[in-house]
Structure 1
């Protein structure tokens, strides 16, 4: 009996050692060629991946997310880069960290496994998706940009002007996609793997407040301006209801951030108020 127990423990030990965990950083709207430096910043990526047993097991995605989520330059590019990463590193457990519209591209893959032959293998490797301020139900600002009003000129840096990804994030369009093409929202089938959101609830941009400078002061000023067109609970780009529409809510910003600080839409992809440290700790679980 003792030998059988030892053999079982040895087998379990070998199985545990065979698990290889990796993390993928999936950016939001925009066409990226160096998202590590330009979208996330090294301080964020390097602290988060430092929580892995093997910190080198990470990939920063660079795709053209100005396209519709199903486009080969969007989800197709994401599938290519994730597959190459999984194969190169022997990843068996994949944690995905995504931001804003990147959550919709990831949900497209998870909701449509027969659309691309690579999708099932990617889905099988995913442990969970940590979606930072995902635009799961779209944003009224996308409607505003496409109407050609002030947002197009004053906040083009945020919305990417008039492209298909912005068009996709119109509130009525996302409602249709959620009802027909995507899983995870109310009344729809559950996503095959955990999809949990970090919700940004407010924007601070007081010139005398040092916290307002994290992620870029000018960007935070712009996001506080756009809050006039959003609900009182918003991160300056997305209403809290949109961020919470798919999967489950992991936490709202003020409940976990240092000093109970809010996360603007720009700050939720940066090393602000301990967000990166929370994500680092999650790499070990």
Structure 2
């Protein structure tokens, strides 16, 4: 009799713990936001991510219609109204219109820097805390957290700019911002998540591309666009051996926590272009994480 009473009391306590811990997740309204990288976008769904990538990832949601694709001018400095201000406005509109209580943000490249600006400067804009309070975590795919030597080369105006500067957009403010020394300054003074700095208020998890393959005889080289991969093979000459053709692995891993390297889930590396496309299972990884 005593043991049954004790067992019943224990079960009630465990039930309360379960309800306390898990109820917010059971009744959460989950959504996902796709945040593009450098460039001024008006149709990032088709022009930046591609519809097949977006539509694959969002199938991981309880309601596949709870998604938004951001279209902002990320050729500007990250703090400007056309960049972080635009991102904040579109995120908050999505949260409010869909009643989102649990938001996963998927960023790519320089989009990670714009997102980190919002996470790191909650008093800069009254909308920022409202957004942060709804974010579960940020999945930063190929984030340029420590900048890239390619931005230095483009700003210097050497042969790189003439040959393959189209990968960066030449010398926009966003490209200037991604110079290695400039990002070191921003990380040390204005952004959270890098070594020696406070952590971001929500998780910032990095997925890292490690190489570029562009052999015309390898079908995998055509995923995401063969010409783009050839260009990234050229730009890789400015980078470390571990790089995605645009960013060194160390830059991609420079903020938050390393989540995955491409080699941990695929037999093929992800170039900077392929990591925003439905290539080698990256869409499945992001889908399952929802």
TM-score tier, shorter chain, comes to over 0.9
Rounded to whole Å, the distance in 1 between the matches of 2:43 and 2:107 is: 15
Rounded to whole Å, the distance in 2 between the matches of 1:138 and 1:224 is: 18
1:264 to 258, 261, 271: 271
| Larger gyration radius, structure 1 or structure 2 | 2
For the pair 1:113 / 2:83, whether they are aligned, the reply is no
2:248 to 220, 230, 239: 239
For the pair 1:281 / 2:285, whether they are aligned, the reply is no
Normalising to structure 1: TM-score of the pair?
0.94
3-state secondary structure, aligned to 1:206: coil
1:196 to 186, 205, 229: 205
Structure 1 residue ranges (4+ consecutive) displaced by more than 4 angstroms after TM superposition: 4-17
2:78 to 31, 51, 69: 69
Rounded to whole Å, the distance in 1 between the matches of 2:48 and 2:264 is: 25
What are the Cα deviations for residues 39-91 of structure 1, in whole angstroms up to 9, with x where unaligned?
00011000100110000000000000000000000000000000000000000
3-state secondary structure, aligned to 1:155: helix
Rounded to whole Å, the distance in 2 between the matches of 1:11 and 1:95 is: 23
Q: What is aligned with 1:43?
A: 52
What are the Cα deviations for residues 252-285 of structure 1, in whole angstroms up to 9, with x where unaligned?
111112xx110000001000001001111111xx
3-state secondary structure, aligned to 1:280: helix
Q: Aligned-pair RMSD on alpha carbons?
A: 1.9
3-state secondary structure, aligned to 2:119: helix
Rounded to whole Å, the distance in 2 between the matches of 1:79 and 1:25 is: 13
3-state secondary structure, aligned to 1:24: strand
Residue 17 of structure 1, CA deviation:
4.5
For the pair 1:100 / 2:137, whether they are aligned, the reply is no
Q: What is aligned with 1:224?
A: 233
Q: What is aligned with 1:83?
A: 92
Question: CA 1:78–1:211 in 2, change beyond 3 Å: closer, same or farther?
Answer: same
Q: Which runs of 5+ in 2 are unaligned?
A: none
Q: Which runs of 5+ in 1 are unaligned?
A: none
Rounded to whole Å, the distance in 1 between the matches of 2:162 and 2:78 is: 24
Residue 153 of structure 1, CA deviation:
2.4
| Matched residue count | 281
3-state secondary structure, aligned to 1:94: strand
Q: What is aligned with 1:184?
A: 193
